């Protein structure tokens, strides 16, 4: 593990400990909440295990994922952002969708060369894309300026417009499929 990664894990672990203390949780309750064995709690609180693996399980309890990763912003997410994240997590866990919608070891699994992904969370729901829309992604396509592209921002899938010289691209969005039926 690189020194930068170790330092980042320790910083996130310190913020994680602050969040747990703020919530008034015991280590045993925290372990049950995030789905880890109680004997592994200290590994996360010391930064030995990567805290990013369990962040998704704390979002429904109000944790702002940007704060835990960077230390910027408020510890607790605002209500609209929390609602968006919680809805996305619920759909991932309930639907077990393919592509980015499938939670795999705490991270989002990448689609194959051409694959489908469901737009989940506020960072994917931009440019007219709505929660639940299916995106056809091409990982091998070369993006052109103005294309909608998928990138990973601090371990969270995000859609944005491609800019010349951008290098953090995972896939190009080549088609949007929307279910028009009322639910």
Q: What residue ranges of the chain have pLDDT lower than 70?
A: 1, 80-114, 154-155, 179-183
Question: What is the reported pLDDT for 114?
Answer: 56
pLDDT of residue 81: 66
Contacts 24+ apart (CB under 8 A), 9-13: 9/47, 9/48, 9/49, 9/50, 9/51, 10/46, 10/47, 11/47, 11/71, 12/47, 12/51, 12/52, 12/68, 12/69, 13/44, 13/45, 13/46, 13/47, 13/51
Average pLDDT, the chain: 78
**Burial (CB count within 10 angstroms: exposed 0-12, middle 13-18, buried 19+), residue 73:** middle
Virtual torsion, Cα 44, 99, 81, 29, nearest 10 deg: -30
Instruction: In whole angstroms, give the CA distance from residue 59 to residue 33.
Output: 11
Report yes or no: 54 and 44 within 8 Å, Cβ to Cβ: yes
Strand locations in 22-111, DSSP E?
103-104, 107-108
Query: Contact 159/127 with Cβ under 8 angstroms?
Result: yes
Half-sphere exposure at residue 118, Cβ-oriented, CA atoms within 13 angstroms: 19
Residue that the structure tokens 């109000």 belong to = 62
| Domains annotated on the chain, with CATH | 3-77 (1.10.260.40), 97-177 (2.10.109.10)
**What residues contact 92, with CB distance under 8 A and at least 6 apart?**
101, 102, 103, 120
Distance CA 14, CA 45 (A): 7
Of all helices (H) and strands (E), which one includes residue 45?
helix 41-45
Per-residue pLDDT of 130-178, as tens digits, reads 877 888 888 888 899 999 999 877 667 889 999 988 888 888 998 887 7
């Amino acid at each position: 593990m690189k020194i930068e990664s170790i330092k980042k894990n320790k910083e996130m672990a310190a913020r994680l400990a602050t969040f747990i203390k703020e919530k008034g949780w015991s280590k045993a309750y925290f372990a049950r909440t995030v789905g880890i064995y109680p004997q592994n709690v200290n590994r996360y609180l010391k930064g030995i295990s990567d805290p990013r693996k369990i962040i998704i399980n704390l979002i429904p309890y109000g944790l702002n994922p940007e704060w835990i990763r960077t230390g910027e912003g408020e510890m607790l997410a605002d209500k609209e952002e929390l609602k968006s994240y919680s809805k996305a997590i619920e759909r991932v866990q309930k639907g077990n969708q393919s592509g980015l919608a499938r939670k795999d070891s705490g991270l989002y699994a990448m689609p194959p060369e051409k694959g489908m992904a469901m737009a989940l969370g506020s960072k994917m729901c931009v440019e007219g894309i709505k929660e639940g829309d299916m995106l056809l992604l091409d990982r091998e396509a070369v993006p052109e300026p103005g294309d909608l592209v998928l990138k990973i921002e601090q371990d969270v899938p995000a859609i944005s417009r491609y800019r010349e010289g951008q290098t953090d691209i995972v896939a190009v969005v080549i088609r949007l499929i929307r279910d028009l039926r009322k639910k």
